[in-house]
Copies of this chain bind each other. A is one copy, B any other.
Amino acid sequence: MSTQERLIETTRELLWERGYVGTSPKAILQRAGVGQGSMYHHFTGKQDLALAAIRRTGEEMRATVDRLLDADGPAYDRVAAYLLRERDVLRGCPVGRLTMDPDVIADDELHGPVEETIAYVRARLADVVQEGVDSGEFASHLVPREIAAAVVATVQGGYVLARASGGTDAFDAGVRGLLSLLKPSPAPPSPAPTA
């Protein structure tokens, strides 16, 4: 792996662990095993390097969401796949956590990819919910973009609960709670499910 790659990957790790204000160039260089000169050769500074790292993390997340939601099957199952996917719960969301970073929010460049990534996930989930409403799988009074927001919020907030309590149970509880609310009723005998 090139020096530049190592810098980006190490920055991604540290941004995830400690956020932007909590990550110093020095810490990145030490963990990457790279000298200071290399970083300022490939990037203009901390912000520029963080930008490359955040963009890549955003791309990765969008790809993951695509993979989960592009699957076949009922809308409920795809939403459930998103909610139940394997996660490093106690580490939190590498994109979402940046929203609590004052220097990220204050910087349009850094804020951009964060905003786009979260918006993308919400939009893709809203589409799936819309399909579920259209097919009669979900109640017609449900508003897809509201349900999508609730789904993403449950995940993002689940990380908060998990980290607050020091365990993953709270995350799982929130997800199960939401799924229990979302689950299509046991379906009265048979009003032609494939209609």
Binding site for B on A (CB under 8 A): 17-19, 21-22, 92-93, 95-97, 99-103, 105, 111, 114-115, 117-119, 122, 141-143, 145-161, 163-166, 170-171, 173-178, 180-182
Q: Which 7 A-B pairs have the closest CB atoms?
A: A153-B157, A157-B157, A156-B157, A146-B177, A150-B177, A149-B174, A149-B173
Chain A's interface: helix, strand, loop or mixed, by majority? Answer: helix
Residues of B within 8 Å of A115, CB to CB, are: 164-166
A-B contact pairs, 9 of them (CB 8 A): A93-B160, A115-B164, A118-B164, A142-B181, A146-B176, A150-B173, A153-B170, A178-B181, A181-B182
Question: Residue A21 contacts which of B18, B92, B181 (CB distance < 8 angstroms)?
Answer: B18
Since A17-B102, A149-B161, A152-B174 are in contact, a sample of 16 more A-B pairs with Cβ atoms closer than 8 Å, ordered by chain A residue number, is A19-B101, A21-B21, A22-B101, A100-B160, A115-B166, A118-B164, A122-B161, A145-B173, A146-B174, A147-B181, A148-B177, A150-B175, A150-B178, A153-B161, A157-B157, A178-B181
